[in-house]
Amino acid sequence: MMPSVTITRRGEERARAGHPWIYRSDVSEVEAAPGDLVQVLGSRGRPVGHALFSDESEITLRMIAFGLAAPSTDFVKARLAAAIAYRESLALDATAYRLVHGEADRLPSLIVDRYGDYLVVQALSQGIDRRLPEITAALVELARPKGILARNDPRVRLLEGLEQHVAVLYGDVPERIEVREGAVTYDVDPWKGQKTGLFLDQRENREAALRYAHGRLLDAFSYNGGFALSLAPRCDAVLAIDISENAVARIRENAARNRLANVEARAMNVFDELRELERTGARFDTIVLDPPAFAKNKSAIAKALSGYKEINLRALKLLKPGGFLVTCSCSYNVSEAMFLEVVAAAAADAPAEVSLVEKRAQGRDHPILINVPETYYLKCLILRKLA
Ligand code: SAH
């Protein structure tokens, strides 16, 4: 007999609406072990689908298949193959990109990023963690990497009762991997870099920003220089700011490696530096704001909005008329509508007349599920200051 979990009417409604997560509060009966693939039953014993079960997380079930039919025994490999084929079809102009994006590739809580010949994997639930040997074998066969690293250090693993660790799953993984994104090459540290090494989700927004970037560029929250380096060839002078000394060292290294002599990097707090730039009368033609997620949970939304308002207000003041502001939010708790509203409020206060040039999201290798708002986490607005 297959393990099973019975859910409440409310849980059933969520699943029938196409949402892949069932919360603990919507679970009524469990006959399963941690990480099991279970049959999900509705309140009257009706089959709802199949899911991976977690006995620790608030997200108790992650749907693998909706409806009657059980997933095939090789569903993991089949879905990995589909995810890889989709990325190949995109013909991305980069050697680093996301190969598997969890829910949106029907492999909930599994992340696989490609960095050249290497893969970096994150298993963020009990069900996926238990299947890592199967996933590794399938990835070796399908993607033929030289090495696979498990970056299983995100804190969310603790919510699953899983330990945090970084380990090689296959082959060897060096401390530095050279990758290319458009015209820029980077040295990536897959062992210790933020996320799995790079902010891959911004690749297409960097490409889009290239259409408008000119003059003096300010790249605020630069990390290892993603926007600064890709936009530098179109700009006269670039100032990249990040609070992390280590990130700033990377920006300088990467600027030198790409022979971009017009990039200056400063280790500063953006909030302080924007104020200082305003005080000294500095002006820019192009500004990028790409802060970390200010709203990590629902209770942080109000404070996050005031943070977004402040940096956008200051940036709009520093921007010359005719200039472009590329402003991002990667908080999934802040919706596109909320973000637009806060940026509009900043424009009103600046005061600045601003038009919306492009409304963007994370790149296509990080797909959004239309029935799962949580998967639309990265918002990127490209704005033009008219006056
Ligand atoms: N724009 C980058 C990604 C930025 S991630 C890219 O395209 O790759 C957010 C960055 O903001 C991190 O590198 C973090 O170190 C930095 N950061 C966080 N708070 C900051 C602050 N108050 N001032 C400056 N940088 C900050």
- The verdict on the CB of residue 270 being under 6 Å from ligand 1 is yes
Length of the chain: 387
Report the relative pairing of strands 21-23 and 59-66 from DSSP bridges: antiparallel
pLDDT digits (tens, 9 = 90+) for 1-23: 899 999 999 999 999 999 999 99
More confident residue, 3 or 43: 3
Look at residue 309 in the predicted model and tell me its pLDDT. 98
- The verdict on the CB of residue 247 being under 6 Å from ligand 1 is yes
* Cβ-contact 102, 109 below 8 angstroms: yes
Look at residue 96 in the predicted model and tell me its pLDDT. 98
Look at residue 295 in the predicted model and tell me its pLDDT. 87
Look at residue 334 in the predicted model and tell me its pLDDT. 96
Residue 140: pLDDT band by 50, 70, 90 thresholds? very high
Task: Please tell me the residue having the least CA distance from ligand 1 atom 9.
Answer: 292
Angle subtended at Cα 108 by Cα 373 and Cα 18, rounded to the nearest 5 degrees: 45
Task: Work out which ligand 1 atom sits closest to the CA atom of 270.
Answer: 23
Look at residue 296 in the predicted model and tell me its pLDDT. 86
Residue 225: pLDDT band by 50, 70, 90 thresholds? very high
Residue type, 102: G
Tokens representing 186 are 């980077």
Determine the Cα–Cα distance for residues 177 and 160; give it in Å rounded to an integer.
30
Task: Work out which ligand 1 atom sits closest to the CA atom of 199.
Answer: 8
Look at residue 286 in the predicted model and tell me its pLDDT. 99
- The verdict on the CB of residue 186 being under 6 Å from ligand 1 is no
- The verdict on the CB of residue 243 being under 6 Å from ligand 1 is yes
Whether 328 sits among the annotated catalytic residues: the reply is: no
Tokens representing 67 are 């409806």
- The verdict on the CB of residue 272 being under 6 Å from ligand 1 is no
Average pLDDT, stretch 177-184?
97
Look at residue 2 in the predicted model and tell me its pLDDT. 93
- The verdict on the CB of residue 293 being under 6 Å from ligand 1 is no
Task: Work out which ligand 1 atom sits closest to the CA atom of 291.
Answer: 9
- The verdict on the CB of residue 254 being under 6 Å from ligand 1 is no
Task: Judge whether residue 118 has pLDDT over 90.
Answer: yes
Angle subtended at Cα 128 by Cα 124 and Cα 133, rounded to the nearest 5 degrees: 120
* Cβ-contact 173, 147 below 8 angstroms: yes
Percent of the chain residues past pLDDT 70, beyond the cut: 100
Pocket test of ligand 1: the residue of 195, 218, 243 to mutate, having most ligand atoms within 8 Å of its CB, is 243
Pocket test of ligand 1: the residue of 222, 251, 276 to mutate, having most ligand atoms within 8 Å of its CB, is 222
* Cβ-contact 371, 18 below 8 angstroms: yes
Task: Work out which ligand 1 atom sits closest to the CA atom of 223.
Answer: 13
Task: Please tell me the residue having the least CA distance from ligand 1 atom 10.
Answer: 221
Tokens representing 382 are 């490209």
Tokens representing 344 are 């509009």
Determine the Cα–Cα distance for residues 147 and 118; give it in Å rounded to an integer.
5
Report the relative pairing of strands 216-220 and 284-289 from DSSP bridges: parallel
Average pLDDT, stretch 213-240?
98
Look at residue 172 in the predicted model and tell me its pLDDT. 98
Task: Judge whether residue 387 has pLDDT over 90.
Answer: yes
pLDDT digits (tens, 9 = 90+) for 55-103: 999 999 999 999 999 999 999 999 999 999 999 999 999 999 999 999 9
Task: Judge whether residue 277 has pLDDT over 90.
Answer: yes
Phi, psi of 74 (to 5 degrees): -105, 30
- How many Å lie between the centroid of ligand 1 and the Cα of residue 296? 15
What is the three-class DSSP state of 93? coil
Determine the Cα–Cα distance for residues 260 and 251; give it in Å rounded to an integer.
11
Average pLDDT, stretch 139-144?
98
Type and span of the H or E element at 110: strand 110-115
Look at residue 1 in the predicted model and tell me its pLDDT. 82
- The verdict on the CB of residue 329 being under 6 Å from ligand 1 is no
